[in-house]
Chains A and B, each alone.
Chain A
Amino acid sequence: MTPDPQSKLVKLDYAVLQQCIHCGMCLPTCPTYNETGRERNSPRGRISLMRAIADGELDVTREFGEEMSYCLGCLACVTACPAGVDYATLIETSRAEVERTGVLDKPGRNFIRWFFFRVVFTRPRMLRGLGRLLRFWQRSGAQAWSRKVGLMRLLPRRLRELEPQTPVMCAKFSNALIAPVEKPASGEIRYRVLVLTGCVQDLAFSDVNRATVDVLLANGCEVLTPPTQSCCGSLQIHNGDDDTSRLLARRQLDEVDLSRIDAIISNAGGCGSHLRHYGKLLKDEPKYAERAAEWTRKLRDIHEWLVEIDYRKPRAAPESFGGNVATPLTYQESCHLCHGQKVTRQPREILKSIPGVAYKECAEASWCCGAAGIYSMTQPTTSAWLQERKIGHLGATGARVVASANPGCHLQIQNGFRTRASADPLAEPRVVHPIVLLAEAYAAEKKNSG
């Protein structure tokens, strides 16, 4: 058997595959290996399959495709790997190869992928339109009614199980909350930054985007927030559609004049992790390579940026703490923030600096919660197992507030607590983005002084 020259795994620099010395240090940190105890469900096992394809020892099979889908892409193995294996590139390339060869193709799957990855998520206006429709459904009573009369039972089983997880849409999306240009009230401009509002963040957590702008303004940043923004392409590249992902990256670069900007700010772990890789993604495209490299240089996670510019420590506790001087709070890491972007210290530093916070570290804080992009939809069993494990650890801290910096994690944790706490609604802690808490603390200062 000779390797297929068209294979994306064959075209990939062989050194990336060779970097894995199969020492096994990744195994204890891999959630799927922990679930099954089988090598094929581990990072080094998957890499051995990828290498077998590159070596022409294995065809891209349906089993291979399913294995690549079973991987969460949480990148815990990247943190654990002493050898510095670039697993992100390996899994992205493999998933793209799975799509290229079509081993997982099914009409329904193909349609859903096309509709979401290539149609909806490449058209920001259409995405917001869908968001508005969804909000109407949720708010008009139609959703409650159909749940009550059991209409949901008519849905296919998978959809029926997913329906309760649907995020609640915001009344106003980011463009209605944030002006395209906002200047610090103090008048002094230390930096000029661009804020990326994301897709799910924009629809379901536009308050996080507003809070992001608020804390930046409070720290002397002039904030540019284009009202209509493209999807960053992380959804696509994490699911094997690298072509669309590159298209979206080029579009992002076309929309921004980087020379006027000190930093590009992302507040969602999953997006940020991918946004940082534009340099690598477009390195072979002469028209974009240089700008993409600049983009990567300037890309910052919001927590990282605030610590870098020595943000002002808040002097008041958020009003939401209700005067509690020691509100137990824990931090749940977004995988792509801690493993993908290596930002672990800064969110904790910010949370601990907020008056009224009694910080509790959580066991397995850097373990995936099972959200993992669209994993909760594609692999519901493993996702639910991880969710339960996560909720158990979070619950054990006794935290009344769980801070997390990625919309997917936010929803997964919130849903997890909701399912568990249905008997006792008081047991459900508040799930919130760290930056929202910081913004609340800044806002409380003003109230105190005013």
Chain B
Amino acid sequence: MQAPDFIPALRSAVPGVTLLTSREDLLPYGFDGTATLKGKPACAIFPRNTREVSTIIQFAREHRIPVVTRGSGTGLSGGSVPVDRCIVLCLVDMNRILELDTKNLTLMAEPGVLTQRIFDAADAAGLFYPPDPGSMKISTIGGNVAENAGGLRGLKYGVTRNYVMGLEVVLPDGSVVWLGNKCVKDVAGYNLRDLFIGSEGTLGVVTKVLLKLLPKPAARQTLLATYASMDAAAETVSAIIAEKIIPCTLEFLDQRTLRCVEAHASVGLPVEAEALLLIETDGHPDAVADEAARIEAICSRHHAIAVRRAATTEEAVRLATARRSAFSALARMRPTTILEDATVPRSELANMIRFINEAAKRHNVTVATFGHFGDGNLHPTFLTDERDADEMHRVELAMREIFDHTFSLGGTITGEHGVGLAKKAFLPQQLGDASLNLLKAIKRTLDPHGLMNPGKIFDLETPAATGTQSHDA
């Protein structure tokens, strides 16, 4: 393959920076964690600091080359899938924790720091960074901010957005801005920091993140409740919330999911159960003991077959780690695994679960469902084969129905994965014209040439190079 003309100029613009152009080097940057999407970048570049990022962005603007920013490439909506002939701006070499401020309970990190490292650094100082996306062992904090990642602790602790106090951002014109600070309160001007959280790399490049940390909870208790029906599990969740208990984690796995997870992790999950709730409560030891007892009682009242407590911290960690592997473990069933992220108000959970199963039956497709029940955030996962056009068509029909139903319940197409490419087609229906036009107006203002991760979230009327395609295997 002939390298694009601009490569030598780019190389001399940022001397010493790793710049990959060979086919063997680039094919592995053609995708992220999302099924069936890939693109062909012109090059991949690995800046080491903000100045280099800024230079690359200015270069791209001068030469009108699209830029797709990425970290570890574990996203689940195609947010970091490259568009054809773009520059992949990979930030994994910007991987230093710059400061841990134990007086203000903040941590400053470069975007390429792994989420797990942030958790560990906080933990070692007796502090706590709650957001724990399934891929936290390898996902980067920059990617978490870009997609506003969630995790298993969203119910009590919220998502990445709730922990971002400040951001350094390189704007599409190459200028560098600081948004936010270490102050607990700050109402000076528009809250532009929040604009960049979850913007999926379409507005700029995050080059530093200032994170809020919490004191580490003194105690935690994990419970496993098994059910003979999904309905009973869903009702238990509603009952726990209605009794004004907010556990840290309230996770659901259906039988298919729990069998796949057990096949991978062998942590002793009850594979005969129809449904399983993984519940964790944390905080003051007395409060934890009290909440755990009340949750146990509620589970039993709602027809749990069994309720088991994790005996040790290690067992609790093993269970949570196993749960985090759910999506990938489901890939054991069929060649292609398409993960959705529909989220509904919590009172509608049982309704939504029933609808998903009916829709799957109606279209003769296989769906496994797991998710953050406490947040109303479901991950119905289609187990299919991308080579079977007929089956893929049926999957699309079922997906469309599920999204329509989500909207009718006041829900959203994505609770934590972002829109990216995978959910782009459904966004107009959710937002409506006025909101969507506001999004586009912001995009045009900040990125008039449409070079930052073009074609993600929505298409502008004059799309730039949006060469990413669904690939036919």
Contact surface of A with B, Cβ cutoff 8 Å: 14-15, 18-19, 21-25, 27-28, 37-40, 42, 44-46, 48-49, 52, 55, 57-58, 61, 63-64, 67, 81-84
Q: List, in ascending order, chain B residues with CB within 8 A of A42's CB.
A: 28
Q: Which B residue's beta carbon lies closest to that of A55?
A: B473
B328 at the binding interface (Cβ < 8 Å): yes
Query: Please, which residue of chain B has its CB at the minimum distance from the CB of A52?
Result: B27
CB-nearest residue of chain A to B26? A40
Q: Does B83 contact A (CB under 8 A)?
A: no
| A84 and B30 alpha carbons, distance in the complex (Å) | 22
B22, B25, B74, B260: which contacts A24 (Cβ < 8 A)? B74
Q: How far is the CB of B28 from chain A (nearest CB, A)?
A: 3
- Which of B230-238, B285-293, B330-338, B408-416 is near enough to bind chain A? B330-338
Alpha-carbon distance A49/B342, docked complex (angstroms): 33
Can you report 5 A-B residue pairs in the complex whose CB atoms are below 8 A from each other? A24-B135, A38-B25, A82-B326, A82-B332, A83-B264
A82 touching B24 by the CB < 8 A rule?
no
Given A24-B138, A84-B263, 15 more pairs with CB closer than 8 A: A14-B473, A19-B331, A21-B331, A22-B32, A25-B135, A25-B328, A45-B27, A49-B24, A49-B28, A63-B22, A82-B260, A82-B328, A82-B331, A84-B329, A84-B332
The interface residues of chain A lying within 8 Å CB-to-CB of B335 are: 15, 18-19
A84 touches B28 (CB 8 A): no
Knowing A18-B336, A55-B473, A84-B264, the reply to whether A24 touches B24 (Cβ < 8 A) is no
Given known A-B contacts A18-B335, A37-B93, A52-B27, A24 and B73 have beta carbons under 8 A apart? yes
Is B138 in contact with A58, judged by CB distance below 8 angstroms?
A: no
Q: Judging by beta carbons under 8 Å apart, are B27 and A23 in contact?
A: no
Q: Is the CB of A28 within 8 A of B138?
A: yes
B137: interface (CB < 8 Å): yes
Identify the closest chain A residue to B335 (Cβ): A18
Partner of B28, one of A19, A25, A39, A82: A39
Docked pose: A42 CA to B138 CA in angstroms: 12
Q: How long is the Cα–Cα vector from A96 to B46 in the complex, in angstroms?
A: 33
Q: Is the CB of B92 within 8 A of A83?
A: no
* Inter-chain contacts of B264 with A (CB < 8 A): 81-84
**Neighbouring A residues of B32 by C-beta, 8 Å:** 22
B137→A28 contact, CB < 8 A: yes
How does the 8 Å CB contact mask read for B6-29 relative to A, with 1 for contact and 0 for none? Answer: 000000000000101011110111
Measured in the bound complex, the distance between the Cα atoms of B261 and A18 in whole Å is 19
Contact, CB under 8 Å: A58 / B31: no
Determine the distance from Cα of A27 to Cα of B27 in the docked complex, in whole angstroms: 16
From A38, A46, A48, A63, B30 is in contact (CB under 8 Å) with A48
CB-based contact A27/B72 at 8 Å:
yes
Tell me which residues across on chain A come within 8 A of B336, comparing CB atoms. Answer: 18
Does B345 lie at the interface of the complex (its beta carbon under 8 Å from any beta carbon of A)?
A: no
Asked if B473 and A64 sit within 8 Å, CB to CB, the answer is: no
Q: 1/0 per residue B70-85: CB within 8 Å of A?
A: 0011100000000000
Which residues of B are found within 8 Å of A48, using beta-carbon distances? 27-28, 30-31
Q: Which of B24-42 contact A (CB under 8 A)?
A: 24-25, 27-33, 35
The answer to whether A40 touches B24, judged by C-beta atoms less than 8 angstroms apart, is yes
Q: Shortest CB–CB separation between residue B31 and chain A, in angstroms?
A: 5
Cβ-closest 4 pairs across A and B: A45-B28, A83-B331, A82-B328, A39-B28
A37 to B326, CA, bound (A): 25
Q: Give the one of B22, B46, B93, B331 with max A CB within 10 A.
A: B331
Q: Does B114 contact A (CB under 8 A)?
A: yes
**Complex contacts, B261 vs chain A, CB 8 Å:** 82
- Complex: A446 Cα to B164 Cα, angstroms: 67
Residues of B with C-beta under 8 A to A81: 264, 328
Query: Nearest Cβ distance between residue A27 and chain B, in whole angstroms?
Result: 5
A22, A37, A82: which has the most chain B beta carbons within 10 Å?
A82
Question: Inside 8 A of B46's CB, which chain A residues have their CB?
Answer: 37
A15 to B385, CA, bound (A): 10
Look across to chain A and name the residue whose beta carbon is closest to the beta carbon of B112: A37
Any chain A CB within 8 A of the CB of B325?
Answer: yes
Contact of A83 among B22, B139, B328 (CB under 8 A): B328
Compute how far the CA of A257 lies from the CA of B116 in the bound complex, rounded to whole angstroms: 52
Nearest B residue to A24, CB-CB: B74
B47 to chain A, nearest CB (A): 13
Which residues on B sit within 8 Å (CB–CB) of A18?
Answer: 335-336, 473
**CA A66 to CA B267, docked complex, whole Å:** 38
Is A67 in contact with B24, judged by CB distance below 8 angstroms?
yes
Assess whether A23 is in contact with B332, with CB atoms less than 8 Å apart: no
Contact assessment for B29 and A39 in the assembled complex, using a CB-CB cutoff below 8 Å:
yes
Determine if A49 and B33 form an interchain contact, defined as CB atoms under 8 angstroms apart: no
B438-453 contact mask (Cβ, 8 Å, vs A): 1 or 0: 0000000000000000
Closest-CB distance, A21 to chain B (whole angstroms)? 5
Q: Which of A27, A46, A58, A82 contacts B329 (CB 8 A)?
A: A82
Closest Cβ of chain A to B45, distance in Å, is 12
CB distance from A303 to the nearest CB of B (A): 18
Which residue of B24, B74, B139, B263 is within 8 Å of A58 (Cβ)?
A: B24
- Quick check: is B373 within 8 A (CB to CB) of the other chain? no
Option from B30, B33, B116 in Cβ contact (under 8 Å) with A21: B33
CB-CB under 8 A from A67, the residues of chain B are 24
Residue pair A27, B138 in contact (C-beta under 8 Å): yes
Q: Does A58 contact B27, Cβ atoms closer than 8 Å?
A: yes
**Cα–Cα, bound, A3→B73 (Å):** 27
Residues of A within 8 A of B33 (CB): 21-24
Q: Which of A18, A21, A52 has the most CB of B within 10 A?
A: A21
How many angstroms between the C-alpha atoms of A15 and B92 in the bound complex?
A: 31
Are A23 and B327 closer than 8 Å at their CB atoms? yes
Q: Are B28 and A23 in contact (CB under 8 A)?
A: no
Tell me the bound Cα distance from A45 to B28 in angstroms: 5
